Structure 1
Amino acid sequence: MLIPRHITAHLRELSLYFPILSLTGPRQAGKTTLLKELYPDYRYVSLEDPDQQLRVTEDPRSFLKHYDYNVIFDEAQRVPALFSYLQTVVDEDRQPGRYILSGSQNFLLRQSITQSLAGRVGIARLFPLDLREIAAANVRPKDYETAIYRGFYPAQFDTGVPPRLFYPSYVSSYIERDVSGLISAANLNTFRRFLQLCAAYAGQLLNYSAIARAVGVSVPTIQSWFSVLEQSYLVFRLPPYYKNFGKRITKSPKLYFYDTGLLCYLLSMQSEKDVINYYQLGALFENLIIAERMKRAQHDGKEARLYFYRDSNQLETDLLEETASGLILTEIKANRTYRDNLLANLHKVGKIAGQPIYKQLVFGGDEGFTVRNVQVFPWHTPVERQV
């Protein structure tokens, strides 16, 4: 089944104001399927097709004269020369929604847009499904360990392909088609080891020197490889919050994966039982909830200023969101049973925040409620802004 995507409203709004739309996101997030469904009257051109690439290269002006309005260019980054000619064409007629660009090699696509089309493009990012979309389609997993293990790529819900078949193919395709164009062929196997090591750091503070030693490359190389993963929308680094608290705080970011199914595959997990028995189950659950918040913000077309807080005394809040009205502090616990001690850090950090705050807990249970001025959310309910 095709699950409706929440980003639809954001795309439609962008198409009212920009002559070009760009939809980026990780490979197999459903970009092409969504665009064809949302814009059925647009002509679709895949620039992975060698014949189309040749047409653009040999005569880009004639190509754009033929494809002049209401066109989707998929894998547009394959033909960088197209972008400067698109600039000329849309400057002559800035009709909103004239072209749509999509692609999986997000570094190359963003680079081409920045160089030639700045100010002319409305940018949206599509990630794997969020919990809200799954709930609306009535396909929510029965428990959080199933959600974590299965992951959220649309193909798993559309076709039922099991994780043990989907993710090996996904990683191979990603490295062979996306990464191979960004790093040397001699380093591809080392990069694969690096990717697996990143999984062990999910939900943890990053130590670039330790990772470099383990992989056998330099720290600058590790930092550049993290940029590759981020630009591919596989991982993100959550920065520490450092404003106004008057405390010595941690300066290292924490690492998270956008998709927990990919994370489980890289950790060599074979079933939901492996999730429950994992020695850092709390980190997996934390990854699930924080990735959900990141995905949902992007699908809504909103900027989310997300951080974590940890000071030199190891006092920590898993997720901190900065808003114009104050801070939202979120504690994330895999416990299925609520206990008052789950709120301890929230109240401690709240006392030193020095500004208006809203406190919430996301836990592994199935029911939400309010206790001691804290809103408690079950794992499957998207956490809404409350400040």
Structure 2
Amino acid sequence: MLTPVLQEELAFSPAVALLGPRQVGKTTLALAVARQQPHVYLDLESERDRHKLSQAELYLQSHLDKLVILDEVHRAPGLFPLLRGLIDQARRDGHAEGRYLLLGSASLDVLKQSGETLAGRIAYLELSALNVLEMGASQQDALWLRGGFPSSVQASSDERSLRWRENFIRTYLERDIPQFGPRIAAETLRRFWTMLAHHQGGLLNVAQLARNLGVDVKTASGYIDLLCDLLLVRRLQPWHANIGKRLVKSPKVYVRDSGLLHALLGIETTEQLLSHMVVGASWEGCCIENLLSCAPRGVTAYFYRTSGGAEIDLLLAWPGGALWAVEFKRSLSPKLERGFHSACEDLQPTRKWVVYPGQEAYPLAADVQAISLSGLCEVLRGHTNSGG
């Protein structure tokens, strides 16, 4: 569903960075869009393709009439100053858009490098894992258990899916992560990632995580930053407003893909998941990722919690200033708690939703609607940016 957005950005921007974790489908999407025009594709993890760029300026100048796709672009950071010069040259020649499509498995290096040299010349898009609209509502439970990576959710069995995710985690820890930062022992980072999985949806306490891991706070903060930059972990920020209440100021932390969360916790089947203590937080995190992948650009996500117990699981802030309050209940008969009503009295959101596992939409109260995950994803996908 990102295809039209990518096409629009390529029609407007000289360069587009398409970011997302490995195996999420960036290359497939890029090549599908590129088929409509002359293009050249280079995988910078391939020694042969990197060799083509040994004289990068000469090579790229010979393809000024094509869309150049550079996959795993962080492997060649020296290209960015050259791309800036070529983009500026093309602008002077009257060819300002659709020159380069940069694919990256993480935000940190791509954003750092391109932010320094391609300001005003590049647009950023994030490709999320498959969501419930792309899979279909009938596949909701499989999507929740296995996560949204195509090879995982479409595997022939739960066992095969779990094996794929375990190999994915191992590859990230042993091969990919060392490319992006200082050398970190794979077992140490795995322990840290698993600790976050056990703490799914909880308030982030870096000092406690550091003590449990036996490292200092600065090191633990660096691990969090790295996993967030790799688009594997989400820090959901608290809503701040001057409303005369004591607000929680720590972010909540989620392993973004529910399938990776379950692999880190050794959960293979739906039966195991439903009896695990993480079930509620897992459902909440899965819903958040699905909703944010369907929300219009410019919508910002928060949560709201006061020291007095008022709480909203997900607060969507729209560019026009409207707020939507979303609560998550893993029950076919969801009931609202006093904390949600108190929070809504504080913030006065324009829309109030409770996402539950069923498919029927119905009112829970005069201004609160129970809705399925796919139903609210549809609402977000079709809504204007005003949020009214």
Q: After TM superposition, is the score higher than 0.5?
A: yes
Name the structure 2 match of 1:83: 80
Q: Cα offset for 1:159? A: 5.3
Distance 2:219 2:71 in 1: 31
Q: Cα offset for 1:234? A: 0.6
Distance 2:155 2:262 in 1: 20
Name the structure 2 match of 1:382: 376
**Corresponding letter in the other structure for 1:150:** R
Please list every run of 5 or more consecutive structure 1 residues that lacks an aligned counterpart in the other structure: 1-5
**Corresponding letter in the other structure for 2:108:** F
**Corresponding letter in the other structure for 1:108:** D
Name the count of aligned residue pairs.
370
Q: Secondary structure in 1 aligned to 2:328?
A: strand
Q: Cα offset for 1:65? A: 1.8
CA contact (8 A) 1:286 1:332 kept: yes
Q: Secondary structure in 1 aligned to 2:185?
A: helix
Q: Tell me, yes or no, if structure 1 residue 54 matches structure 2 residue 73.
A: no
Q: Tell me, yes or no, if structure 1 residue 257 matches structure 2 residue 255.
A: yes
User: In structure 2, do the counterparts of structure 1 residues 200 and 159 end up closer, same or farther at CA, with 3 Å as the change threshold?
Assistant: closer
CA contact (8 A) 2:146 2:162 kept: no
Q: Cα offset for 1:325? A: 4.5
**Corresponding letter in the other structure for 2:359:** D
Within 5 Å, give how 1:64-103 maps onto structure 2. Answer: 64-68=60-64, 69-94=66-91, 95=95, 96-103=97-104
**Corresponding letter in the other structure for 1:149:** L
Q: Deviations over 1:44-90 (max 9, x none)?
A: 1111122332342x322212122322221111211111111111111
Q: Secondary structure in 1 aligned to 2:245?
A: coil
CA contact (8 A) 2:84 2:117 kept: yes
Q: Cα offset for 1:97? A: 0.7
Q: Cα offset for 1:305? A: 1.5
Q: Cα offset for 1:322? A: 1.9
Distance 1:132 1:382 in 2: 10
Q: Cα offset for 1:183? A: 4.1
Q: Cα offset for 1:30? A: 0.1
Q: Deviations over 1:78-108 (max 9, x none)?
A: 1111111111111011331111111214322
Within 5 Å, give how 1:96-115 maps onto structure 2. Answer: 96-115=97-116
Please list every run of 5 or more consecutive structure 2 residues that lacks an aligned counterpart in the other structure: 381-386
Name the structure 2 match of 1:272: 270
Q: Secondary structure in 2 aligned to 1:365?
A: coil
TM-score w.r.t. length of structure 2: 0.90
Within 5 Å, give how 1:267-306 maps onto structure 2. Answer: 267-297=265-295, 300=296, 302-306=297-301
Q: Cα offset for 1:344? A: 3.6
CA contact (8 A) 1:308 1:317 kept: yes
User: In structure 2, do the counterparts of structure 1 residues 16 and 310 end up closer, same or farther at CA, with 3 Å as the change threshold?
Assistant: same
Name the structure 2 match of 1:194: 192
Distance 1:23 1:113 in 2: 12
Q: Cα offset for 1:178? A: 2.2
Q: Deviations over 1:85-142 (max 9, x none)?
A: 111111011331111111214322222211221111111110111111112xx7x42x
User: In structure 2, do the counterparts of structure 1 residues 62 and 265 end up closer, same or farther at CA, with 3 Å as the change threshold?
Assistant: same
Q: Cα offset for 1:342? A: 2.1
Q: Secondary structure in 2 aligned to 1:291?
A: helix
CA contact (8 A) 2:196 2:255 kept: no
Distance 2:98 2:133 in 1: 27
Distance 2:102 2:123 in 1: 10
Q: Deviations over 1:195-247 (max 9, x none)?
A: 11110111111111110011111111111111111111111111111214321
User: In structure 2, do the counterparts of structure 1 residues 286 and 378 end up closer, same or farther at CA, with 3 Å as the change threshold?
Assistant: same
Distance 1:8 1:181 in 2: 29
Name the structure 1 match of 2:146: 150
Q: Secondary structure in 1 aligned to 2:375?
A: coil
Task: For CA contacts below 8 A with separation 6 or more, give which structure has more relative contact order.
Answer: 1
Q: Secondary structure in 1 aligned to 2:358?
A: coil
Q: Cα offset for 1:252? A: 0.8
Q: Tell me, yes or no, if structure 1 residue 173 matches structure 2 residue 163.
A: no
Name the structure 2 match of 1:316: 311
CA contact (8 A) 2:148 2:259 kept: yes
Q: Cα offset for 1:177? A: 2.8
Distance 1:186 1:240 in 2: 30
Of 311, 332, 352 in structure 1, the residue corresponding to residue 346 of structure 2 is 352
Q: Secondary structure in 2 aligned to 1:37?
A: helix
CA contact (8 A) 2:41 2:69 kept: yes
Name the structure 2 match of 1:371: 364
Distance 1:106 1:356 in 2: 32
Name the structure 1 match of 2:384: none
Distance 2:364 2:183 in 1: 55
